[in-house]
Chain A
Amino acid sequence: MSGVTDLIIAFLSIALVNNLVFTKFLGICPYLGVSKKTDMAVGMGLAVTFVLTLSAAMTWMINNLVLIPLDLGFTKYIVFILVIASMVQLVEMYVRKFYPGLYQSFGIFLPLITTNCAILGTCLFIDLWGYGFLKAVVAGFGGGLGFTMAIALMAGIRERLELAEVPRPLQGAGITLVAAGILTLAFMGFSGMVR
C-alpha cells in the first residue's frame, strides 16, 4: 500500500467509519450543548479541527520522541492533557492577536475545547493505533472534520426539531440523543468501507 493511499484511508477511517461522535462517543458534551444552531456548530467544529490537528502533531512528537525513549510512557495522560491545554491557550492568544475577525467567529469556543474529550480521545486513539507522524496529523485533521460534520448534521436536525411537537419529557437532551442514535445507525453504513 503506497503512502498516499494509506493517508487517505486513515483520513476516511477516522472521519466516517470511526467517527468520533458516533462510534467513539467522544465530544458528546459540546455535541449536546452547542449543537442548537448550525453556524455555531460549524464554528465549534472548525475550532476543534484546528486544535485537534495541532495537538495530534504535538502529542505524537512528544510521545514518540520524548516519552517513549525515556520510558516515561506512564506520564502520557498528564503530558497529553497539559499539551492540549497549552495548545488551546496558545491558539487563543495567537488568533486573538493576529486574526481578530476569526477570533470573533470561533474564539469563544476555544476555552471550551480543553475539556472536550474529542481532542484527548483522538490523541489517545492515535497512540493506540500506532500511527506514524503524517498519519497522526491526517487522522487529527480527519477526526476534527468528522466531528464538525457530526455536530453540523445534528444542529441541522435540531433546528427542524424546534418546530416539531416532541413529547414533553423527551424535549431537550432526550430527543437529541434519540436523533443521534438514528444518525449513528446511518453512519454504520460506512463500517467495513476501509480495509
Chain B
Amino acid sequence: MIGLFSRLLTRSPGEGGGATADAPAAAGSSAPDGASAGVPVAARRQSEALSYFIKDLWEENPVFRGLLGMCPTLAVTAAVKPALTMGLAATFVIVCSNALVSLMRNALTPHLRILMFTLTISVFVTIADLFLKAFMPEMSEVLGPYVPLIIVNCMIIARAESCASKKGVVISIFDGLGTGFGFTLAIIMLATIRELLADGAWFGFRILPDWWVPWTVMKLPAGAFLTLGFMLAVIIHLHARKQAKQAA
C-alpha cells in the first residue's frame, strides 16, 4: 500500500516529484502574491478546486499517467457503452467517497484510516451496483463483478489518501470529479479504438463501411492489453515531446 502511494506521489517525474500535492499550490502561486491576497478566500479556493479538476482530468490522468485502476480499464473497454457506464459509476463512487472522507478527515486516526476509506468506498460501490441492477439490468450483467471491483480500484483509494484526507470538501469533490472524468475519458478512448477495430462501430452504431473486416482479437483480452500498451506509448511520446518543447 505504502509503495503504491509513494509511486502515486512521485508519478510524472518530469515535474519535480510530489506533483499531486504541489500542483495546486503551484497553480495558486502563479498569480502574484499581492494579488492573491486581495482575492477573497472563496474565489481562491474555487480556483484551487478547478485546478485540481483540470489537473486530474488530463495531465495527471489516473489511467495514462498514474497507471491506476487498470483492471476495469482493461476489462470493460470492449465497447463504448459499458465503458461509459463504468466510468460514470466510478465517478459517482469517487466523488461521494472523497466528499465523505474529507468530511471526516479530522477524526481519522492513522491506524483506522485505510479501513475507513475501504468502508466508505464499498458502501457507495454497493449503492452504484444496486442502482445498475435496478435501472440498467442489461448493463449490470455486462459489467458483472467489475462493478464491485471498483472497491479495490487503487485510483479511488489513492485519491482518498492523497487528497480527500487532507483537503476540504469542495476541493475533494472537484478532485473526485476530475479523477472520475479523467478515468471515464481514458477508458472511453480505449473503448473507442477497440470497438471501432472490432466491430467497425461506435456506441453500438456501425460507422465503418461494410468492407471493414472486424478484428475480433480487439474484443478479446489480448486486444485490451495490446491497445492499452500502444496507447500508453503514444501518450508518453506526446508528453515527452511537450516537455522537450517546454525545455527548449
The interface residues of chain A, by DSSP majority, are classed as helix
User: B229 to nearest A CB, angstroms?
Assistant: 3
A116 CA / B3 CA spacing, docked (Å):
13
Closest A residue to B67 by beta carbon equals: A173
B139 interface contact, C-beta 8 A: no
Question: Which B residues lie within 8 Å of A178 (CB)?
Answer: 225-226, 229-230
A174 CA / B71 CA spacing, docked (Å):
15
Which of the listed residues B72, B154, B229 has the most CB atoms from chain A within 10 Å of its own CB?
B229
Residues of A in contact, count (CB < 8 Å): 48
Closest A residue to B129 by beta carbon equals: A77
A184 interface contact, C-beta 8 A: yes
Tell me whether B152 and A128 are in contact (CB under 8 A). no
A77 interface neighbour in B115, B148, B157, B230, Cβ under 8 Å: B148
B152 interface neighbour in A32, A82, A115, A188, Cβ under 8 Å: A115
- Give a binary string over A160-189; 1 marks a CB under 8 Å from any B CB, 0 the rest: 000000011110111111101110110010
Question: Which B residues lie within 8 Å of A173 (CB)?
Answer: 67, 229, 232
The interface residues of chain B, by DSSP majority, are classed as helix
- Give a binary string over B223-240; 1 marks a CB under 8 Å from any A CB, 0 the rest: 111101110111011001
Closest B residue to A122 by beta carbon equals: B145
A84 CA / B1 CA spacing, docked (Å):
15
Interface residues on B, range: 35 or more
Which of the listed residues A27, A167, A181 has the most CB atoms from chain B within 10 Å of its own CB?
A181
Tell me whether B224 and A25 are in contact (CB under 8 A). yes
Known: A114-B1, A114-B114. A177 touches B226 (CB 8 A): yes
Closest A residue to B70 by beta carbon equals: A28
A121 CA / B145 CA spacing, docked (Å):
7
A124 interface contact, C-beta 8 A: yes
B233 interface neighbour in A85, A121, A170, Cβ under 8 Å: A170
A29 interface neighbour in B4, B122, B123, B230, Cβ under 8 Å: B4
